[in-house]
Chain A
Amino acid sequence: MGVLKDFFNLVKGMTITGKHLGRHAVTIQYPEQKMEMFERSRGVVVLLSDKETGELNCTMCMLCMRACPTAAIQIDAPRDENKKRVLNSFVIDNTLCCYCGLCEEACNFCAIKMAPLYEFSTWNKDDLVWDVKKLQEMGRDVPYEDTRKKKPAAADKPAAEKKPAAAANPGADAKPAAPEAKPAAPEAKPAAPEAKPAAPTEKPEETKDEAAPSKAEPSDDDKKGDV
């Protein structure tokens, strides 16, 4: 009895949908209820501030800018006469950001993070280009684990030497923190991070320079070959 079997199968399908009729919805009512975001969720990019001083963790090393595949991060931090970097602007264009999280991984100073925040839509596209103030403000309440190496305030030199290795090897074991670093004078604090990144930034620049020409040649050949 093919007809009866078909009929039975239709009824079977309807019992499955009928059973679901009485069940609770698995969706939520968004603006009132919100999903609990996972701690690792990659939402919008923010800049983190030091938990104690409230200053930006950023040392203007530009690693994130280099790691960004879409050039969404633009940092302008020229050196002043003391060879210290001065932050002119730190702009993240959220319309370009592809939320890959490479900037967060590149950063050695817990300065940039993809926070589990997702409500930042605006009416105007220009409002999605965030400057340092907005980025810092967004990052205020973002919890993060401070894995920065505490730098001895007085010993700038050894730290600077040590850094290149760390840059080439991001996330390498933290070297033992020096508890004396904390009570260091407030002026020393900004000075130290600024001095240090000078070394790591140097390195990528070099590699890039040497990489660029070598890259250009073969690709040109390739094109000619195609033609």
Chain B
Amino acid sequence: MELYGIFEWIYGLLADTGLPEPWLTFVVYLGLGVVIFGTLSVLALFLVWWERKIAGHIQQRFGPMRTGWHGWYQTIMDAVKLLQKEDIRVTTRDKAVFFWAPVVCFVAAYLAYVVIPFGENLWVADLNVGILYIIAVTTLTVISLLMAGWGSNNKYALLGGMRSAAQVVSYEVPMAVSILTIIVFSGSLSMVDIANSQQGNVIFNWFIFKPPFGIIAFLTYITAATAEANRTPFDIPEAEQELVAGYNVEYSGMKFAMFFLAEFVNLFTVSAIATTLFLGAWHGPLLPSWIWFLLKTFGMVLLLMLFRWTFPRLRVDQLMEFAWKFLVPLTFANLILAGWMKYAGWHW
């Protein structure tokens, strides 16, 4: 596509200057990284605004209205404000852990985008273990939350950190298993291969429409992903009515902004993965592939936002029960049945 063309053009341009090969790759990937990072940060800012608007309209109010048309640059102004704010550091903190927690959180949030295909020929790297990589790096977030909870030296923060550790680790299992169901369908761990195996302009090629396993895997994935992204009804690590703000209660200014932004990048990540795995990735008629991808992803984001603004919050033990007593058996049964059907050679 067009963007990929631009990169090839830049690559060629740099090759002409006679830059040696390892440097050439480094520069190009650095550029690519900056572009992805920039795009996603802007996207996350946009998502914050969008969430606030959606929350507002669901609740029959306006949401941000002051800055620009319907407050479109509200989050940018918020970010500027947070940058200017004093960085309050509690004296009893664990200095190194307190400092690195938001950084780890922020970086971990972006790592998944190495393998997510944004469109036809529009990805950073097509790892042959792409989905495994995603499962691995998205779990990194939990370390940062635990670090934040521990480093703050605050009881509320510690409770939040412990909760998030328990929650994310638990929900990693059903999430991975429901993703495995898709791997059974596609026969590949590569994100691009998974996307390509849903090709065809008829939506029935999408894995979500492989009844009943596809839809079950989709629903379990969405549930687990909501928990992974720490969003209501699974937002117990920061449950503001119980733990005030949970793990980030002692953070202010830019450090808080990093947590906040990472949360919305995570929201986009889980939606993008859902799009790639279940909703036919970038495939769609007429429009360019990356627009299809964004449309589907935003659809998913909308769904997750609707969750957030509709449901109450689960309790921490109920959350665990739900994961281990309901989701894990269900996803395993789903996986085994799907694998058996595949083995038996039945097609849908």
Contact = CB atoms under 8 A, between A and B. Distances in A.
B37 to A, nearest CB: 32
B62 A17 contact: no
B60 A20 contact: yes
Contact of A17 (B56, B61, B306): B306
Contact of A20 (B59, B62, B65): B59
Interface residues of B, number: 14
B310 interface: yes
A20 to B, nearest CB: 5
Contacts of A23: 57, 60
A21 B54 contact: yes
A112 B164 CA distance: 60
Contacts of A29: 62, 65
Given A13-B311, A25-B62, A18 B57 contact: no
A24 interface: yes
A172 to B, nearest CB: 47
A17 B65 contact: no
A27 B62 contact: yes
Given A14-B306, A17-B306, A18-B306, A25 B311 contact: no
Contact of A14 (B56, B62, B65, B310): B310
A25 B58 contact: no
B209 interface: no
Given A10-B311, A29-B65, A17 B60 contact: no
B256 interface: no
A216 interface: no
A7 to B, nearest CB: 8
A56 B58 CA distance: 50
A5 to B, nearest CB: 14
Contacts of B56: 25
A22 B306 CA distance: 13
Interface string A31-44: 00000000000000
A174 B293 CA distance: 77
Nearest to B312: A13
A17 B308 CA distance: 10
B309 interface: yes
A107 B182 CA distance: 80
Interface string A1-21: 000000000100110111011
Contacts of B58: 17-18, 20-21
A24 B56 CA distance: 10
A227 interface: no
Contacts of A26: 60-61
Nearest to A22: B57
A13 B310 contact: yes
A197 B56 CA distance: 56
B131 to A, nearest CB: 27
Nearest to B326: A3
A148 to B, nearest CB: 45
A25 B65 CA distance: 12
Contact of B60 (A13, A14, A16, A25): A25
A13 B65 CA distance: 27
Contacts of B61: 25-27
Interface in A125-142: none
Interface in A18-70: 18, 20-27, 29
A158 B198 CA distance: 100
Contacts of B310: 10, 13-14, 16-17
26 contacts: A10-B310, A10-B311, A13-B310, A13-B311, A14-B306, A14-B307, A14-B310, A17-B306, A17-B309, A18-B58, A18-B306, A20-B57, A20-B58, A20-B60, A22-B57, A23-B57, A23-B60, A24-B60, A25-B56, A25-B57, A25-B60, A25-B61, A25-B62, A26-B60, A27-B60, A29-B62
Given A25-B56, A25-B60, 20 more contacts: A10-B311, A13-B310, A14-B306, A14-B310, A17-B58, A17-B306, A18-B306, A20-B57, A20-B58, A20-B60, A21-B57, A21-B58, A23-B60, A25-B61, A25-B62, A26-B60, A27-B61, A27-B62, A29-B62, A29-B65
Interface of A: 10, 13-14, 16-18, 20-27, 29
Q: Which 5 A-B pairs have the closest CB atoms?
A: A27-B61, A17-B310, A26-B60, A13-B310, A17-B58
